[in-house]
Amino acid sequence: MAFLIEGIKLDENLSLDMFYPESFRTLDELLIFPEENLIVVKELWSGKPCDTFFTLDALERIDPFKRYNQENGKALIEIKGDLTIVTTVTVERGTMAEYLFGSIFKNNQQIFKSLGVRYSSIPTKSTYQKYLDLQFSLMTSQKSRESFFEEFSSSLFDDKVNKLRGIFRSNFRSNCQIGYFPPEHFLTQELFNVLDHDKEFRKALFKVLLLEEAVTNEAASVVFKDLITHYLKEN
C-alpha cells in the first residue's frame, strides 16, 4: 500500500512524488477521479498491480479492509432489450487491485464475458460497449471474409494459389515469431470454412504447400493431411 508523505498540504498540486510505496513495491501512477472524490495510487509488486485509495478532498487514505468490504462483490445490473448485463467488482486480496468482471446473458445463457481494470489511465469501457465493439469486429471480419471469398472464387487457379501463398508467407512467419505451433496452420478457422466452399480451394492449398516444402521442411502431402484434419476437427 502507498502512503502520503508527511507535511503535504491540500493546496499543493497532486503528483506521484507526494507518495511513497510500501517495502518491495514501486510507485507506478497516480489517478484522480473527481466525480468519486477519489485518488488511486498504483504500485507494482513483483509485476502485480496494487491499488491504494485516498479521498480527494482531504487526502486521507481509505482503510483497505473497509474498501474491500464496501466494494468487493458490488454488482451493476442493466437490462437492454433481451440482454441482461451484469458488471461485478472484484477486489484482489493482498494487492487490493480492483477489477470489473462483465457478463451478458440472453435467454438465461451467457453470450459474452469480459475482464478489465476498474481504475485506469485508459478510459474504461462498459461491459455493454465491449460487447458492441466485439459484435462490430465480428461483423467486419465476416464482411472481409465474404469479400475475400468472392474475389478468390472468381479468380483463375494460379491467382488462387498466389493469394493463398501470400497469406501463408505472412502468417507462417508470424506464427514462427510468436512460437505458435504448428506454424503451418496459417488460416483462421473462419477463413478456412469460407474458402472450403470453393471447389478449387483444396487443390490450390496443396499447390501452395508443394511450393513451400522448403519452408515447412515437411512433405506437402503430410502437411496437407494435417491441415485438413485440424480444420475439419474444429468444425
| Domains in the chain, number | 3
pLDDT tens for each residue of 195-222: 999 999 999 999 999 999 999 899 999 9
Q: Note whether 165 and 213 are same-domain residues.
A: yes
Q: Note whether 175 and 216 are same-domain residues.
A: yes
Q: Note whether 41 and 75 are same-domain residues.
A: no
Per the model's pLDDT, the better-predicted residue between 184 and 199 turns out to be 199
Residue 51 lies in a domain: yes
Residue that terminates a domain, selected from 21, 38, 62: 62
Q: Note whether 179 and 210 are same-domain residues.
A: yes
Instruction: Give the C-alpha separation, 104 to 53, whole Å.
Output: 29
Q: What range does the domain containing 11 cover?
A: 3-62
pTM tops 0.75: no
Q: Note whether 47 and 74 are same-domain residues.
A: no
